[in-house]
Amino acid sequence: MRLELGYVFIKDVQFGSESKVENGTLYVNKEELINLIKEDEHFESVDIELARPGESVRITPVKDVIEPRVKVEGPGGIFPGMISKVDIVGSGKTNVLKGCAVVTTGRIVGFQEGIIDMTGPGAEYTPFSKLNNVVLVCEPKEGLKQHEHEKALRMAGFKVAAHLGKLAKEIKPDEVDTFETLPILEGVNKYSDLPKVAYVQMLQSQGLLHDTYVYGVDAKQIVPTILYPTEIMDGAIVSGNCVSACDKNTTYHHLNNPVVQDLYKKHGKELNFVGVIITNENVYLADKERSSNWTAKLAEFLGLDGVVVSQEGFGNPDTDLIMNCKKIEQKGIKTVIITDEYAGRDGASQSLADADKLANAVVTGGNANEVITLPPMDKIIGHIKYVDTIAGGFDGSLKEDGSIVVELQAITGATNELGFNKLTARGF
């Protein structure tokens, strides 16, 4: 499967009378977007704010971050099963508004939404401080249940991202990247002298408000399966979860999965990137055994020499991670795992809730319990009062001067960004 990603670089975002892209600036018609979101009657009020890199702005609580994209050529559309009809995506041409994102916020959904600071020390820990953000402030109607609120907010983000993405459909990209994965036998024959490597992507699926969707299906309902890596780039996998902000894979992370991108950089040169095995994270032991058994079976079936495994969440999913690693290693396949750590504020506690001697190649995203002080910002988008109760916050996190003392887990994308940027090969 072959996909061309055409990047239309966005250097600024402004409100305007017409939504368009012109000379590197994304112009947004505010009322147009508000009316689009208000098609969903679950919201009491809707507003649109803008946040640019370097501005003294804090966005919290953050639900999701989404990059606008549009199919230009080829089957299907962006976010299949959510916005577009269910069709296999990942081939043809897709244009990307690179350098901007849609961020969703409003009164809290769960208790693990996070913080994005556009400047200061907190900005160094999140990739989203570097983007021109269109922020949707969506307030639910009184009495709306949490899962209904989450769905309404999730869909609002997808609708706006798809709407803005369409602005790039007729624009000639500033830059084009091409990604291609051949069918298994064809790829093995073409790269017969290279090790066969796959990416095992663990998806958060551990209960209500801990959801990830694959072609519109809740990942709790799937057994491990195989995807072309390019399918992910067209929105085949999207976020619907409210786990700790630092290790939640937002939809932006899925669209721009750096493990996929790093493996593609080595594809055909140092390794044969065979594809992606997606697997869910489970609550019950029997389900953990089933999914890890299937994951190891698929890795063996593909004749792999090595895999990279990434985890979403922490604590309970550590067992899924170690099961996947151990069972794949027992098949004679070399395994590298990517995870963050929860080692206590002093770093002296056990980093993972599970361990095994076969997990001997680990890429760490750092200690999510590390404490950071975020200085006051001139502007708050969303609601600041929740920082004491989100994961990583505590009673007294919010100071009188507007500064915040929190653990890194409260910063959206913090340890994901650190860990993905450290990915190295093990010598597959």
Active site residues: 242
Distances (CA, A) of 158 to 19, 84, 154, 251: 17, 10, 7, 9
Whether 114 and 411 have beta carbons less than 8 Å apart is answered as yes
Eight-class DSSP state of 106: S
Kindly give the pairing relationship between strand 212-214 and strand 237-239: antiparallel
CA–CA dist 321, 302 (Å, integer): 20
What the block records as the tokens of 84 is 């577009």
Query: 61: cis peptide before it, omega within 30°?
Result: yes
CA–CA dist 353, 62 (Å, integer): 27
Distances (CA, A) of 268 to 197, 212, 425: 11, 31, 15
Whether 122 and 411 have beta carbons less than 8 Å apart is answered as yes
Residue 294: other Cβ atoms inside 10 A: 18
CA–CA dist 157, 106 (Å, integer): 12
- 361, exposed or middle or buried, with CB in 10 Å at 0-12, 13-18, 19+? middle
Q: What is the DSSP string of 2-20?
A: EEEEEEEE--EEEE-SS-E
Closest CA to 134 of 104, 166, 102: 102
Phi, psi dihedrals of residue 25, rounded to the nearest 5°? -110, 135
Per DSSP, the three-state class of 130 is: helix
